[in-house]
Structure 1
Amino acid sequence: MEQAQVRTVKRVWPAKGDVSVSAIVAGLIAVTVSFTGPLLIIFQAAKLIGLSETQLSSWVWAIAVGSGLTGMALSAFFRAPVILAWSTPGAVLLVSGWSAYSYAESIGAFVVAAVIVTLFGLTGVFSYLMKQVPEGIISAMLAGILMKFGVDMFISMKQLPLLVLPLIVIFLVGKRVLPRYATMLTLFAGLGIAYAMGRLDFGGVAFSMAYPVWTTPSFSWNAVIGLGIPLAIVAMASQNATGMGVLRADGYELPATPLVTATGFMSILLAPLGSHGINLAAITAAICTGKESHDDPGKRYVAGIACGLFYVGFGLMGAAIVSVFSVFPAELVAVIAGVALLASMGSSLTGAMSDPVHRDSALITFLVTVSGLTIGGVGSAFWGLIAGLLASWILNGRWLGWRRK
């Protein structure tokens, strides 16, 4: 695994010569994947509780602008691609149980969840726990997360072969001729082919600016226990843990404490505007931390800054921006996400199997993560991590003074 040269600098904007088209496109693809999938869960949750258009628009504004500004700042400071996003598992949790609480009570629960995450970051507890996880298990967890996107790319061929097959060929040719721009060429070729096939129609797209709307939090034990604490657990287990895993898998040994603290603090500020939580990203982060972003790990931070800029730009348009991405064929999104993540999949699988001591544990982590197992609203990535650590302890840990040689 290549080791990224992580450093902090005073300069805010990218250094001369660091900016590349591939890094900017990686940031755009990361945001596109977020807006074509996870954001639709936000709409489902908003419909469930009966939010007004202004409240929904404020929610989208808060999570997108908050993710963008914080990600830009962290990426520029650490000179590493730090990608943030809203909590998708958290949104799923809202869909399953939000209707039992008022909107003001929910906002109060959002604040409590953000405070818990911030405390985990400030005390260093989260950083300590992450240091106890072997690299092979982290890589296996990431490989399991990304595997679905590679498989979906080829499954989509059954639905729309005339689009998917040419794009895969274009990507492979691009990797041979212009490897740094292969993903970009695939994206633009996909848009052109989809338009020629009549699968893109922007006629019904309407643009409008979004504005934040303040809601005074109301705190109730029922909402804190039913929403706040579960949201905090999901944020730490399914988002921040996997997000740190993505960074580590691609060689970015960043300190967890400032990253988690920053996401928690921003979540506190934006909760009254509707944000249910901003966390480290995992899937979309892998698009920006891998080789498809830039061959040089030290220059991939530009993808983090670009991702943040796109988040802010789209967030200012609020809910209306979703109508743009909703016209993208699902097969096109599947291919773009798949090819953008291929390099990360490969390096993660290599890292998972490279350590003979933890190889079996890593394999168990990978299989549990791929299984899609969900318990208590917490996704398979976390349970894969737990299963791998348990297997590692059984295989390699100390039992009553006895340790395997």
Structure 2
Amino acid sequence: MLQPISAGIVGSIAGFATSFALVIAGLQAVGATDAQASSGLLILCVTVGLASIGFALVYRIPISIAWSTPGAALLVAAGQNHANFAAAVGAFIVCGALIILCGLWPALGRLMTSIPKAIASAMLAGILFPICLAPVTAMFDYPLLALPIILAWLIILRLAPRWAVPSAMLVAAIVIAVSAGGGWMQKAELAPQLAFVLPVFDPAVIVSLGLPLFIVTMAGQNVPGFVVMSTFGYETPARPVLVGTGVASVGGAIFGGHAINLAAITAAIMASPEADPDKSRRWIATLSAGVLYLLLGLGAGVATALVAASPPILIIAVAGLAVVGALVTSITGALEEPPHRIAAIATFLVTASGLTIAGIGSAFWGLVVGAIFMLWLGWGSRSTAENPEPAP
């Protein structure tokens, strides 16, 4: 009994610590106040916790739920173009509705999985790339603050890779608290509070934020999550999971949460033999993880105040360290198939550029440009990849 419980504790702490700062920074980037960002983190913890508990009790398999980390990275990247949080919430609701539709209409789910891996991975890489540059920028802007964080990350990455980002976040919290003095705690709302946000459905924001959020959540979290579960011999009920997480995402959106989904990395902790040699008992890990997420949500106000007390680039730098692995994976996936490399690079460059056309952000245009390149160069053709440059 203790082994799966401890696995759930490790998975939930690792999942929370590695990306809560990214979530807060993302929500603030699209216009959330400190109170709204705190509410968003709280509702994400609540929906993740309740969904994890519910699926564990009903299906007795380790279905791990998490918030959309690629989605949070998208919010950070899109922040320069969207400062109306009510419109962002409208986009969150559309994203959740599309996830529900994927569960109810299998054809849409198949369409999502048919998006070429090269294009989806390249778009995600373009979203993550500017964030992963933040540690470099922070080293020049705030060397005394950034250096201990990066060194902690590097040292623990060598000794215990799973704990590298949580360790960096712990050092960051200490550094920020010491540099800010005691004043930041006075701004913290210690009691958890939900802030209702009346959504606004802006077509431009839905296209530039809602649709990319849906795509990166499906391609970057749900699809790998199903793969991880099948790797460990579990048949995950797709319709209930997609509909359930979609409904929770829609409900959580009005309190500032962006999206929840199947977990991938933490699923590998809780669905593997590390959680318990007995496959039939591993669901206890996700049950305990869900309970701990509910408790972690109680600290959302303190976490938001800590982030608010820090120079923004420092928090983005910690987030950049957290998604370096995801950047490596996405770049590898984008360039894996030689016929699609040029289309993938085009998608990456347009997405990373941050350009805005007609009020629509670069993530959407990256997909469009990648699709055009892929169609023009031949969807299944290998000639371009085998001989991408004219012969000398």
Q: Tell me whether the two structures share a fold, i.e. TM-score over 0.5.
A: yes
Judging changes above 3 Å, is the alpha-carbon distance between structure 1 residues 382 and 312 closer, same or farther for their aligned structure 2 residues?
farther
Return the offset for 1:361: 1.3
Residues in 2 aligned to 1:111 and 1:146: alpha-carbon distance in whole angstroms? 23
The answer to whether 1:353 aligns with 2:342 is no
- Judge conservation of contact 1:122–1:257 (CA < 8 Å) in 2: yes
Is the CA contact 1:115–1:264 (under 8 Å) kept in the aligned structure 2? yes
The partner residue of 2:147 within 165, 171, 175 is 165
Matches for 1:181-220 after TM superposition, within 5 Å: 181-198=163-180, 201-210=183-192
Q: Judge conservation of contact 2:44–2:67 (CA < 8 Å) in 1.
A: no
Instruction: Describe the superposition over 1:24-66 as per-residue Cα deviations: whole angstroms up to 9, x where unpaired.
Output: 233223123212441464534x9xxxxxx8x998777555533
2:155 maps to a residue whose letter is V
- Corresponding residue SS for 1:328: coil
Report Cα offsets for 1:186-208 as digits up to 9, x if no partner: 22233334444456744413435
Residue 259 of structure 2 aligns to a residue whose secondary structure is strand
Counterpart of 2:213?
A: 239
- CA spacing shift, 1:393–1:306, aligned 2, 3 Å: farther
Task: Give the AA of the match of 2:46.
Answer: V
Q: In 1, distance between residues paired with 2:53 and 2:20?
A: 13
Specify the alignment match of 2:259 in structure 1. 279
Secondary structure class of the residue paired with 1:83: strand
Aligned position for 1:83:
66
Q: Does 1:126 align with 2:108?
A: yes
Task: Give 5+ residue unaligned stretches, structure 1.
Answer: 1-10, 47-52, 100-105, 218-222
Give the aligned length.
363
In structure 2, how many angstroms separate the alpha carbons of the residues matched to 1:303 and 1:59? 25
Over 3 Å counting, the alpha-carbon distance change for 1:25 and 1:301 in structure 2 is farther
Alignment check: 8 A CA contact 2:103 2:109 kept: yes
In structure 1, C-alpha distance between the alignment counterparts of 2:293 and 2:124, rounded to whole Å: 23
1:18 maps onto 2:7 in alignment? yes
How many Å apart are 1:174 and its aligned residue? 2.2
User: In the alignment, residue 83 of structure 1 is paired with which amino acid?
Assistant: A
Q: Secondary structure at the match of 1:15?
A: helix
* Aligned counterpart, 1:340: 322
> In the alignment, is residue 156 of structure 1 matched against residue 138 of structure 2?
yes
- Between the aligned partners of 2:154 and 2:283, the Cα distance in structure 1 is 25
Query: Of 367, 370, 383, which residue of structure 1 is paired with 2:365?
Result: 383
1:1-400 map, 5 Å? 15=4, 18-19=7-8, 21=10, 24-39=13-28, 41-44=30-33, 62=43, 65-70=46-51, 79=62, 82-84=65-67, 95-96=83-84, 118-198=100-180, 201-210=183-192, 227=201, 233=207, 236-247=210-221, 252-253=226-227, 258-269=240-251, 274-275=254-255, 278-280=258-260, 288=265, 312-313=294-295, 315-316=297-298, 322-375=304-357, 378-397=360-379
| Distance in structure 2 (CA, Å) of the matches to 1:188 and 1:73 | 31
Identity of aligned residues (%): 26
Task: Output the TM-score relative to the length of structure 2.
Answer: 0.69
Write the distance in 1 (CA, Å) between the matches of 2:221 and 2:292.
21
User: In 2, distance between residues paired with 1:234 and 1:245?
Assistant: 17
Q: What secondary structure does 1:142 align onto?
A: helix
How has the CA–CA distance of structure 1 residues 152 and 392 changed in structure 2, closer, same or farther, with 3 Å as cutoff? Answer: same
Which amino acid in 1 is paired with 2:213? Answer: Q
Calculate the aligned-residue CA RMSD, in Å: 5.0
CA displacement 1:167-226 (0-9 Å, x = unmatched): 3233222222333332233222333344444567444134353566889x9xxxxx9xx7
2:232 counterpart residue number: none
State how far apart, in whole Å, the 1-side matches of 2:274 and 2:368 are: 31
Contact 1:64–1:314 at 8 Å: present in 2 too? yes
Q: Which amino acid aligns with 2:32?
A: F
Any unmatched runs of 5+ in structure 2? 230-235, 276-281, 387-392
Amino acid corresponding to residue 33 of structure 1 in structure 2: L
String of CA shifts for 1:211-270, please: whole Å, max 9, x gaps.
66889x9xxxxx9xx717666656651212111222378675388755543343225545
* Alignment-mate amino acid for residue 84 of structure 1: W
Q: Which segment drifts farther, 34-43 or 152-161?
A: 34-43
Structure 1 SS opposite 2:32: helix
Deviations 1:294-317 (A, max 9, x none): 9x7987999988886676446557
